[in-house]
Amino acid sequence: MIYRRPSKKPVFSEALDTGRVVLPKLFRRLSSWEVNRYAKMVTGGFWKYLKDHKDRCYLTSEFLAGPTSATVYALHDFVDPDGFVTVWPEDLVFRESASRLIGPGGGTVKW
């Protein structure tokens, strides 16, 4: 990668923005896997790493038809063993884990 210092007055051009796109969740998993693989903290390929993380998602079409009846899939269901994603980014809705708000003292904030 080459760092390019941003312009003082950047101009976005949709026509020039033709690079590849990676889903943010997939990028985070891929970068973590690569670092852990380099450090010899994981074995196996990227597909196995995804399978072990159990990220859940829905097909957008099924989710929009009825979120409570949509089938829950694993992210690795949409990535083949060679690492190619088999759906477009807009075809997936991710199921996020519950979160909690942490206060200044490190404890959970009660509402």
Q: Report domain extents, the chain.
A: 24-95
- As a whole number of angstroms, the distance between CA 74 and CA 94 comes to 10
Mean pLDDT of 87-92: 91
- The yes-or-no verdict on residue 14 having pLDDT over 90 is no
Mean pLDDT of 5-12: 78
Mean pLDDT of 82-100: 88
The CA-atom distances, in angstroms, between 95 and each of 6, 30, 72 are 35, 18, 8
- The yes-or-no verdict on residue 13 having pLDDT over 90 is no
Q: Evaluate if pTM is beyond 0.85.
A: no
Letter string b/e over residues 25-45, b meaning 16 or more CB atoms within 10 A of that residue's CB: bbeebbeebeeeeeeeebeee
Span 30-88, pLDDT tens digits: 999 999 999 999 888 888 999 998 899 999 999 999 989 999 999 999 988 888 889 99
